[in-house]
Chain A
């Protein structure tokens, strides 16, 4: 695609980035402030005596490193399982007509329509029945429930945008459905798959209330619980929370920086690559 008004685009992008990062910059600055400087009236932007003590505390004196590992396993597991279920389901909805399709597609969303407050107790009972309380597998399943519906729905949209003719041609050439899925649909839908992957991972990464109730052991607890552990009944170690939030956020941003290359500019580049 030709460059169009590059400067204008950059200015626009700059404004958007500034608006997005403004609170984040405030958090980053807070994470290197001393306790005395965190709460002043009027507030101060730049710390007079920047300190890394919050990071030292988070990395060496808290459960954050262990919880980081737990979060990686759980978020990756949940993402993987959600995709394994979602891709075929989305393909089924996008490519075939069958009786009750609309009802079934709506019912995929059913779990999202109940507030967390309503499902937390029964879900606890289900997990206990399955013997999955306090396990990675339990949280992975719970997060799969959370993320699967969106994955299916969004992928239906992405798959429908892929011309069906490509698949027809392959089938006429004698390829099986699964070969078609793997060799044609998957590569063409890759941007969409990456988008829902990022979504699933981030959702599982940040979820608090289910993790709080279903993971009682520090071998399973996740990062958001680690953030809550910097608070006591009447106090919060805000500098540490901010430092831990940085440690939680930046790896995901970097991960996306690498992955965003799949978003090119249009289908042709995607099709020729696949």
Chain B
């Protein structure tokens, strides 16, 4: 190694001792964008194109990770030195907006010519707070029923006719709970009873909605999770584990990821999840023949799902709002959104891109119109926690569904009244 090179390397190693982020005034043209690590390559490509179109603007990508994302975002928002643009999970849009640290984007949308009527209504709903647009959704997805076709055959079920009603779903789960060819115990259904509270909410809430119930009333004033429609649905979901023994003993420690791994290991034959799991299953066990279906419903009812996804938000205290607006305008274009999203895009017109035409995605696409945003409440995460804690009591067989939901209802009502 020659001397110059060594000096340069040395300087590069020492550089981080000094300030990397120069003061605000010096670089008003810079736009700092926080994007998650799994989309890094696509984000870099989009930045390249954006900078080519907008000479003089520079985007600095700072990569975030899934672990502790809220910590990092909230720390930046609350300490008053946030970046210009952040990718967040859509469920956090309203709670963040309620802290007053996000910038309304109605004007940005108009000024940048973002056609809001081209967006699916549910993702747009995740970004609305107090009648204002507090984020731009770019990605959306919904759960469907993922099942193991081989297991269906083994259990004497028709792999091309997945269950459509709740009754058929339980029946299938019971028949799929069996000793496999090599003598191992397998289960018919993966119930999510542990891990992050959102995982359970995404799987149980759709059943409550399908059954005509809810956790809180539409006017957001009343807790209604102890009403019959909701209790019946919660009971139905838990019964796979508590009454039918069709979910594995590990249920109370299984989150979405654990369920997928149990599916990959052949231990559970059906579970609810999104299209992001398909690639992973293929990767981890190519022998499984994956089936996907719309979620079964109570007789004569429509399916429902909780809408998942990601939004762009701009912090209120961002220094370069104008740059942020331009970047959002660019990223919201159908072709860019279609390229950037991991699942489906939030814009209808972007949905036409070839990458969303894979046949295995069809049931997920068909579920999308039935997907709803969670109630736009700042305290929603805390409400979900209360719902989760009490559902775990049912799974622990410590409380009847009605008693558990009565307790949940009381605690949730207290939160709403506060």
Do A and B originate from a single complex? yes
Chain A's nearest CB lies how many Å from the CB of B63? 7
Q: Is there a chain B Cβ closer than 8 Å to A104's Cβ?
A: no
A213-B72, A219-B16, A228-B68 given as contacts; is B261 within 8 A of A236 (CB)?
no
Task: Name B74-104 residues within 8 Å CB distance of A.
Answer: 74-76, 78-81, 89
Q: Is there a chain A Cβ closer than 8 Å to B8's Cβ?
A: no
B79 to chain A: which residues have CB within 8 Å?
121-122, 124-125, 128
Contact A212 B66 (CB under 8 A): no
Contact B277 A234 (CB under 8 A): yes
Task: Name B199-238 residues within 8 Å CB distance of A.
Answer: none
Task: Return the contact of A216 from the options B37, B62, B277 (Cβ within 8 A).
Answer: B62
A233 to chain B: which residues have CB within 8 Å?
36, 38, 66, 89, 276, 342
Which of B41-49, B279-287, B363-371, B395-403 touches A? B279-287
Q: Is there a chain B Cβ closer than 8 Å to A135's Cβ?
A: yes
Chain B's nearest CB lies how many Å from the CB of A116? 9
Task: Return the contact of B265 from the options A40, A133, A136 (Cβ within 8 A).
Answer: A40
Contact B265 A70 (CB under 8 A): no
A41-B262, A217-B20 given as contacts; is B81 within 8 A of A235 (CB)?
no
Task: Return the contact of A213 from the options B19, B20, B71, B265 (Cβ within 8 A).
Answer: B71
Contact B19 A235 (CB under 8 A): no
Q: Is there a chain B Cβ closer than 8 Å to A260's Cβ?
A: no
Total count of chain A residues near the partner, CB < 8 A = 41
Report the bound CA distance from A232 to B72 in whole Å.
Answer: 16
A212-B68, A228-B68 given as contacts; is B63 within 8 A of A135 (CB)?
no
Task: Name B244-296 residues within 8 Å CB distance of A.
Answer: 256-257, 260-262, 264-267, 274, 276-277, 280, 283-285
Q: Is there a chain B Cβ closer than 8 Å to A39's Cβ?
A: yes
Contact A39 B284 (CB under 8 A): yes
Q: Is there a chain B Cβ closer than 8 Å to A132's Cβ?
A: yes
Chain A's nearest CB lies how many Å from the CB of B176? 15
Q: Is there a chain B Cβ closer than 8 Å to A209's Cβ?
A: yes
Contact B75 A219 (CB under 8 A): no
Contact B72 A135 (CB under 8 A): no
Contact B72 A39 (CB under 8 A): no
Contact A231 B277 (CB under 8 A): no
Contact A70 B16 (CB under 8 A): yes
A220-B20, A234-B256, A234-B257 given as contacts; is B284 within 8 A of A35 (CB)?
yes
Q: Is there a chain B Cβ closer than 8 Å to A225's Cβ?
A: yes
Report the bound CA distance from A59 to B267 in whole Å.
Answer: 34
Report the bound CA distance from A230 to B283 in whole Å.
Answer: 16
Q: Is there a chain B Cβ closer than 8 Å to A168's Cβ?
A: no
Contact B65 A212 (CB under 8 A): yes
Contact B63 A124 (CB under 8 A): no
With CB as the reference atom, state the residue of chain A lying closest to B67.
A228
Task: Return the contact of A232 from the options B12, B37, B264 (Cβ within 8 A).
Answer: B37
With CB as the reference atom, state the residue of chain A lying closest to B274.
A234
A132 to chain B: which residues have CB within 8 Å?
19
Contact B75 A134 (CB under 8 A): no
Report the bound CA distance from A133 to B23 in whole Å.
Answer: 11
Task: Name B48-75 residues within 8 Å CB distance of A.
Answer: 62-63, 65-68, 71-72, 74-75
Contact A219 B65 (CB under 8 A): no
The digit string for B137-176, where 1 denotes a CB below 8 A from any CB of A, is: 0000000000000000000000000000000000000000
Q: Is there a chain B Cβ closer than 8 Å to A137's Cβ?
A: yes
Chain A's nearest CB lies how many Å from the CB of B193? 18
B283 to chain A: which residues have CB within 8 Å?
35
Q: Is there a chain A Cβ closer than 8 Å to B1's Cβ?
A: no
Report the bound CA distance from A216 to B73 in whole Å.
Answer: 11
Q: Is there a chain A Cβ closer than 8 Å to B25's Cβ?
A: no
Report the bound CA distance from A69 to B256 in whole Å.
Answer: 35
Contact B20 A135 (CB under 8 A): yes
Could you jot down 6 A-B contacts, CB within 8 Å? Answer: A36-B284, A125-B80, A128-B81, A220-B16, A231-B67, A234-B260
Residues in B lying within 8 Å of A, measured CB to CB = 12-13, 15-21, 34, 36-38, 62-63, 65-68, 71-72, 74-76, 78-81, 89, 184, 256-257, 260-262, 264-267, 274, 276-277, 280, 283-285, 342
